[in-house]
Amino acid sequence: MLIPAAMLALAGAPAAADAALPHPGPAHHVPHSHTHPAGEIDEDHGPLLLQISYTGEIMGNAAGGIRRGVRYLDNLDMVFEADMERALGWTGAQIHVYGLYNNGRSISGLAGDTQAVSNIETGVSALRLYEAWIDQRLGSHVSLRAGLYDLNSEFDSIEAAGLFVGSAHGIGTDIAQTGRGGPSIFPSTALAARLQVAPASGWVLRAALLDGVPGDPDHPRRTAIRLGGGDGALMIGEVEAPFGEGKLLLGHWHYTARFDRNDSGAGRGNSGTYVRAAFPLAALGERQVDGFLRLGTASGRFNMFDRFASAGLTFSGWIRGRDDDAFGIALAGAFTADSYRLAMGAKASELAIEATYHARVNEWLSVQPSLHYVRNPSAGPAIPDALLIGIRFEVSHSLFGF
């Protein structure tokens, strides 16, 4: 793979072995996309869907952080869905199977950040079963989903924030940092049951019960289902409501297991709350400006960050002849808990700023350059602010059956 000369010049050195630098803090990530909205197989096509999507990203740390360098990250998604009602006459049922491969390279190992500037970073090379669930509609307003399940596929998810490549814009850092190795999100998921009710137009109530420890943290390359052993459960509920012409999310989550405290000892009560909104700000013909905002909390006794805030603007239709392109700017701030600062001598926050442009080349290819500035990476007093440059491409194809 050829690396652009400009990026090599900025990075100052060719890529080195990733294993030399462990990640300085808890890594949290989100899936870069769900290639096809679950439950929405196009009725103009057959009841079976196979989608394959490959994402590659060259990203370099141009200044600051732990050290300069360039990494090539990649991610392969393979999604199979079946509308069982049209395929076999099973009323209201859908099957979803999602395979995932990632090369495991790390850009955070260079930048030193905790929130992860690339949402396809895993740190571990693996081919795994990512999701496998069945969804059963119960009448016209209720559905029940069970199986291996990505929490962020439905909870704490706003479409406007999906433009950005930073992990913190997919799911809030307040949730992503929690549990042993993270909750049931990219790249490792857990068994779950989710109930969803849509009582009125624009309103959705959803709740889920998940295994508290997804996969096997001691063997992160494996697809593993382990229940018991003190793992406990993660419980989460969310209300989605109309917000003018946009939408508002209000959620609360809670772990039942015991966790080590930042100061000493262990206890229960690892929980938090978030509110998230997306809303149109301006529309001038084909030109659209959308905004989003998120605030979240997590228990400061157990977690590195006890408060989180993010916001962003996205612009679409602003370039003549490029109606499918979009660009935006966003920031995400994670604020350290008092007990963590005292124990670790940390700074008050980590702040990540991102500017990005997504260009749709054709129906199967897109290209996305991005620029990132991270202030106080991992809230560490000895890590300089980091400047990163990246370019991402995605190739995807869909096949319909029957």
Q: Strand pairing partners for 209?
A: 193, 235
Q: Which residue carries 């382990």 as its tokens?
A: 226
pLDDT at 5: 37
CA distances from 85 to 46, 92, 277 (A): 11, 6, 34
Rounded CA separation 151/148 (Å): 10
The pLDDT of residue 43: 64
Which letter, b or e, does each residue of 178-187 get, where b requires 16 or more Cβ atoms within 10 Å of its Cβ? Answer: bbbbbbbbbb
What is the per-residue pLDDT for 227?
78
Burial 243-266 (b: 16+ CB within 10 A, else e): eeebbbbebebbbebebebbeeee
* Residue 401, pLDDT score: 78
The per-residue b/e assignment along 100-123, b for 16 or more CB within 10 angstroms, e otherwise, is: bbbbbbbbbbbbbbbbbbbbbbbb
pLDDT computed for residue 105 by the predictor: 95
Q: What is the pLDDT of residue 7?
A: 37
For the chain, domains (ranges, CATH) are 45-401 (2.40.160.180)
200: CB partners within 8 A, 6+ apart = none
What integer pLDDT is reported at residue 44 of this predicted model? 64
* H or E element that contains 7: helix 5-11
pLDDT at residue 42 in the model? 63
**Confidence at residue 223, expressed as pLDDT on a 0 to 100 scale:** 80
Q: How many helices (H) and strands (E) does the chain have?
A: 5, 18
115 vs 298: CA distance, rounded Å: 15
Place of tokens 């600062």: 341
- Spatial separation of the C-alpha atoms in residues 132 and 147, rounded to whole Å: 6
Q: Average pLDDT by consecutive 10-residue portion of the chain (402 residues)?
A: 36 37 38 42 78 98 97 97 94 97 96 97 94 96 97 95 96 95 93 97 97 87 78 96 96 96 92 97 92 98 97 94 94 97 95 98 96 97 97 95 70
Predicted local confidence at residue 402, as pLDDT: 61
Task: Give the pair of three-digit tokens for residue 282.
Answer: 């301006």
Q: Taking the mean position of all CA atoms in its chain, how far away is CA 317?
A: 25
Q: What is the pTM of this model?
A: 0.89
Residue in 295, 289, 290, 291 with CA at minimum distance from that of residue 276: 295
- Residue-level pLDDT at 13: 40
Q: What are phi and psi of 89, to 5 degrees?
A: 80, 15
Distance CA 54, CA 192 (A): 27
Contact of 167 with 28, CB cutoff 8 Å? yes
**Residue-level pLDDT at 39:** 44
* Residue 76 main-chain phi, psi, to 5 deg: -120, 125
Closest of 129, 117, 171, 4 to residue 378, by C-alpha: 117
Give the chain's end-to-end CA distance (angstroms, integer): 38
